[in-house]
Structure 1
Amino acid sequence: MDYTPVTPFRRTIDAAILKHQAATQEDLPPTGANKWEVLRELAAARDAFGLSDRDLTVLQALVSFHQATILGGNDSELIVHPSNKAICERLNGMPCSTMRRHLSNLVQTGFVVRRDSPNGKRYARRYGDEKVAFGFDLSPLALRFQEVCEAAEAVRAAEERYKRLRATVSLMRRDLAGLAEYGSSLRPDLGLWDQFSDLAVLAARDLRRKLEMADLKQIEKALGAALDQARDLLGDGNTENMSTNDAISEQHHQNSNKDLYDFEPRLEKARDPSNALERANAGVRVDRREDEGDPPQEPENQLMPNIPLGLVLASCQEFKSYAEQPVRHWHDLVRVADIVRPMMGISPSAWDEAKRYMGPEEASVVVVAMLERFGDIRSPGGYLRSLSTKAAIGEFSCGPMIMALMRRDAA
């Protein structure tokens, strides 16, 4: 056609439409663009161009009227001319008024250009070898394909950064909750643990919503500061001798030392009346003092367990079926442990050694905690001896064992 109109039929025109009309005068890319790939990339970057999913649905219907898969290249005829009724049929019966509203947005954003006929109808005519068509020009899809791809890649990169930051915040929240729980068992005198726990709960509540990037960064900053403070408190000299290895990996500890403790029942049978075996174990120094005439010295009494009795009762349930009456005091728990101990295969000598180095109350906590995971411990007597050895040098606390049981129940 000799002349290409720039104004729509019986519609107002503005600067945006003139700009998009002028852009269509450029030459189409020689390689063209796959129309389905254009739609896929535009769907990823639709927010950057002010398009909605319904706008893209209407655009997809328009693109389907173009028979070729490649837009541009050797094909310069990119004007489709379906009627409103035909478009709505391909939109599964979308109301015509709704379709026209989304079509207007496509024109305003420049992805579709109107080529209206003198009477506003859409049609195509042939004059010899020349074809003249009036309708919707799809050439902007080919001309702006590179722009759409760059915008889609930027959106995907931003989404990836958001996912990574959200995962980081979730892990930091979990670590802070665990450190607060562990720290409150070791240092109950500090009120910061409750603040850390509250911060973790609030972060978990915020993560249920769709947060903005700036909000996530603020939460990450607050959690990072709290984690640094919690690690400093747990890493000072007051807690350096408290270990959690026995609480977290009982089964691994037992398997790695099974050659030492698998013969616990044989040691019990081989015990002679002269206490030779006890002299070979931890009591050798006491026996030497007795032989030398010095007054016997008992090991220093251990402190009471560093956790409240109520927490032990809440975490350990198996021993209650062996208790004749409800456990209300530490001496009640010691009496139950005396009953349960032989059923678990723990020898009297191992039990006495545990009470000597841990104290009766903490030794009872260890026994009822072991009962909770009795199926995972290969030799309970040998395992108890290993914990007694750690207690003798001040490297054991029953608190982490109870905390591990609480985490297991909460999982």
Structure 2
Amino acid sequence: MQTHFVATPFGRRAMSLGMIASQAAARDIPAGTRANKWEVFRHIREARDLIGATDRGLAILNALLSFHPEPELAGDGELVVWPSNEQLMARANGMPATTLRRHLAILVDCGLIIRRDSPNGKRFARKGRDGEIQQAYGFDLSPVLARAAEFGALAESVQAEKKALRVARERLTLLRRDIVKMIDTAIEEKVPGNWGRVLLTYQEIISRLPRNAGRLVAEDVATDLHGLWTELREVLESFAKTQISVANESHSGRHIQNSKPDSNLESIDSEKKKSAAAVDPTTNNVHVLPERELPLTIVLDACPTIGWLAKGGEPIRSWRELLAAAGIARSTLGVSPSAWEEARTAMGDKQAAITIAGIYQRSEQISSAGGYLRSLTDKAREGKYSALPMIMALLRARLDDARKPDGGGGEGASPKNEVPQSSSRPLEISEALKRSFGKPKGSA
């Protein structure tokens, strides 16, 4: 039976109010209190961040508990263990002495153990004639028993927090997947809407999400994403109902599904512009023939400067390569990604690429390429825009330069016109097209 509880640590170690509180809690343990030491240790390990313990400190606490002979800690039993530093280092997987002392101090500060130092700082136990321990000096495990219920509650709260974080991350993953696929579906099915701006809104919300987001941040971002998800779902459902009703009213319509992902760049659109319906089919004025699809060669003849931006310096041979070069030209012109996405949504990839090529060809004459592209995008939404007049005007300018004595390539010619893919071959157009350029303005 212990005759005296030592309250102050040995040597230069300072006393603290936390130590006094731990000793008071250990002194008030009811006699019949019991707890499985390994179960309590598991709770401490799960709640170590809330308690303030370290992984090395837990390794030392595990070693100290192993020196207690019984599987349970009892309020009426002996709770002081007195291993030497060598024994502790051996059971703590060879931990260095300096590390051992530092983390023992952390365990004391966390209120997990109490130092019961002898007058000379040694750890030992004094036994009576009957072998019963009368006085022990070492480390008191009473706080582990006294705070067993507290550690259990902390462990439950940690588990609940982990579960809530896991649920929030799962919700984030599902919302992100749904939103991205709904936007892709809307663009592919040509659902009316400013999908470029919607995509920017989604990216702005996601940018608030750090790499290792906590539960509160994850739930906040998930709430904003859910609002966007709700709006997208309502738009798509409304559009789907409209399409179904139109399909039910028309018994002669056919649904054609194209499985080629690049068909929007390589194929010719079957639908004609509304403005072309009122054009007189008997006229041979090319400026009023939007029904005719612009060949890629005509676009490249009218806009030779875009050839400098082709990948690897190779000639542009497909609409996909023109679209890639237009993306680079967009950045060079200072057109924002949002303006580019809006143009592609309103005009289609092919028309947007032709438009950027024309703007890049006339970049020296256009002060604000981004503003000019947005104005053309607004016209395209109203069905009042076609890239054909721009390309025809550029072709006329090139033909006028070709008729000059110096061929338009004088000493002050812009180096942009020296594009390999256009300068390596003459400008070839049909005779009807040449005669159209030669007609005075206003003639039919």
The structure-2 alpha-carbon separation of the partners of 1:196 and 1:137, relative to structure 1 and needing over 3 Å to count, comes to: same
Q: What residue number does 1:151 align with?
A: 154
Q: Does 1:46 align with 2:51?
A: no
- Distance in 2, matches of 1:5 and 1:25, equals 12
**Among candidates 17, 20, 28, match of residue 19 of structure 2:** 17
**Among candidates 184, 192, 196, match of residue 194 of structure 1:** 196
Higher RCO, Cα 8 Å, sep 6+: 1
- Distance in 2, matches of 1:212 and 1:14, equals 33
**Among candidates 13, 33, 45, match of residue 35 of structure 2:** 33
Normalising by structure 1, what TM-score? 0.57
2:99 alignment partner AA: T
Q: What residue number does 1:312 align with?
A: 263
SS at match of 1:133: strand
State the Cα distance separating 1:203 from its structure 2 match: 6.7
- Distance in 1, matches of 2:261 and 2:44, equals 60
Alignment of 1:122-141 (within 5 A): 122-129=123-130, 130-131=132-133, 132-141=135-144
Deviations along 1:227-271, whole A, 9 cap, x unmatched?
1221232233x442436xxxxxxxxxxxxxxxxxxxxxxxxxxxx
- Distance in 2, matches of 1:142 and 1:125, equals 23
- Distance in 1, matches of 2:122 and 2:207, equals 57
SS at match of 2:78: coil
- Distance in 1, matches of 2:84 and 2:145, equals 23
SS at match of 2:6: coil
- Distance in 1, matches of 2:177 and 2:149, equals 42
1:149 alignment partner AA: G
Deviations along 1:64-89, whole A, 9 cap, x unmatched?
11111111155x11110011111111
Unaligned runs of 5+ in 1: 244-298, 315-326, 332-411
Unaligned runs of 5+ in 2: 245-250, 271-444
2:96 alignment partner AA: P
State the Cα distance separating 1:186 from its structure 2 match: 2.9
SS at match of 2:28: coil
Residues 28 and 142 in structure 1, CA contact (< 8 A), matched pair in contact too: no
State the Cα distance separating 1:48 from its structure 2 match: 1.1
Paired positions, count: 261
Q: Does 1:64 align with 2:75?
A: no
Residues 176 and 196 in structure 1, CA contact (< 8 A), matched pair in contact too: no
Alignment of 1:253-272 (within 5 A): none
What is the percent sequence identity of the aligned residues?
33
State the Cα distance separating 1:223 from its structure 2 match: 0.7
Alignment of 1:280-359 (within 5 A): 311-312=262-263, 328-329=267-268
The structure-2 alpha-carbon separation of the partners of 1:307 and 1:93, relative to structure 1 and needing over 3 Å to count, comes to: same
The structure-2 alpha-carbon separation of the partners of 1:93 and 1:302, relative to structure 1 and needing over 3 Å to count, comes to: closer
- Distance in 2, matches of 1:329 and 1:48, equals 65
Residues 78 and 139 in structure 1, CA contact (< 8 A), matched pair in contact too: yes
Residues 209 and 217 in structure 2, CA contact (< 8 A), matched pair in contact too: no
SS at match of 1:228: helix
State the Cα distance separating 1:313 from its structure 2 match: 7.3
Q: What residue number does 1:320 align with?
A: none
